[in-house]
Homo-oligomer: A and B are copies of this chain.
Amino acid sequence: MTAGALAKAEVLAEALPYIRRFWGKTVVVKYGGNALAADKGAAGAPETGPETGPETGPAAAGGATPLQSFAEDIVLMCSVGMRPVVVHGGGPQIGALMDRLGKVPEFRDGLRVTDAETLDIARMVLVGKVNREIVSAINVHGALAVGLSGEDANLIRAAARPGGLGFVGDVEVVDPTILERLLSQGLIPVVATIGADAAGQAYNINADTVAGAIAVSLGAEKLVFLTDVDGLRADPSDPASLVRTASAGELELMVERGVAGAGMAPKARACAQAVRGGVGHAHILDGRVPHALLLEIFTDEGVGTMVTK
């Protein structure tokens, strides 16, 4: 009997109380487009920056480890009885295709305008590319993942966001029926954040906001944001100012004061709204750490920021 074997047994035995605690619990995980872009070997701008980072395309070299590692974590959660739901964005990938098509982004009052063509491109990329890659990475382990757009079975009812931004939408209501059904069959929904209004018109919606709304609609135990930073910082430029835990109120105060940083604000707001809406805990983790999800869920190791009610 090697020492390594005994150590392995200890880790498994230590995971027992966590496995039992989360059995049957729903966890919504927001997986950022940057993580996927990084996965492909593309440098990728920080997710909080403009969505125009270069991508070297399907031929991109480099290790696929981050996405594969993420897929393993999701499958393990599923295997021990949890009910994970993946929600994803795809900013860098949308930017890359627009770039290739010579489509010049248009801004109004500093916000990107989404015309019909841009929406078409965003939908193709989110539903037909990013979503597919996540589904494929999971399904290597078995017939588990099912890709969904918010348009499927009227999952996300959207409305145009005021301000003449075109087909940028806000979540009006989430109907989680199709998610509940897939989860009850042991399947893992992977959701691209396109919504539709009653007339069938599609809208592109902020993925952080959708993740929070879905977590509330499912009464999830946890909402987890996998980002490319190490968590929320009291001072965005100071790694030592990482916030370990915060209440919804504290978080909202930070957003108001502007300390959360540009790209972090929607995540912080979504966390605060989720825990107020009944979600047990919300987390902002560093998705670049291998198996960050497993560490957060099955061990006492603290990673990133936890938001409580």
Q: Give A contacts to B, CB under 8 Å.
A: 1-2, 4-16, 19-20, 23, 46-47, 57-59, 69, 72-73, 75-76, 79-81, 97, 100-101, 116-117, 119-120, 123-129, 131-132, 135-137, 139-149, 151-154, 175, 177-178, 181, 185, 187, 194, 196, 198-202, 289-291, 294-295, 298-299, 301, 303
Contact = CB atoms under 8 A, between A and B. Distances in A.
B136 A151 contact: yes
A149 B132 contact: yes
Contact of A80 (B79, B116, B299, B303): B79
A147 B152 contact: yes
Copies of this chain assembled into the complex: 6
Contacts of A127: 127-128, 131-132, 147
B152 A146 contact: yes
B141 A20 contact: yes
Contacts of A76: 12-13, 15-16, 19
Contacts of A75: 16, 20
Contacts of A19: 76, 79-80
Contacts of A298: 8, 12
A47 B200 contact: no
A79 B21 CA distance: 10
A86 to B, nearest CB: 13
A200 B137 contact: yes
Contact of A289 (B1, B20, B132, B198): B1
A8 B295 CA distance: 8
Q: Is the interface of A mostly helix, strand, loop or mixed?
A: helix
Contact of A6 (B101, B123, B145, B290): B290
Contacts of A4: 301
Given A59-B116, A72-B16, A125-B128, A10 B291 contact: yes
A203 to B, nearest CB: 11
A16 B79 contact: yes
A59 B120 CA distance: 10
A289 B13 CA distance: 14
B137 A143 contact: no
A120 B5 contact: no
A15 B1 CA distance: 18
Given A132-B149, A139-B200, A120 B58 contact: yes
Given A154-B142, A295-B5, A120 B116 contact: no
A148 B190 CA distance: 12
A5 B147 CA distance: 32
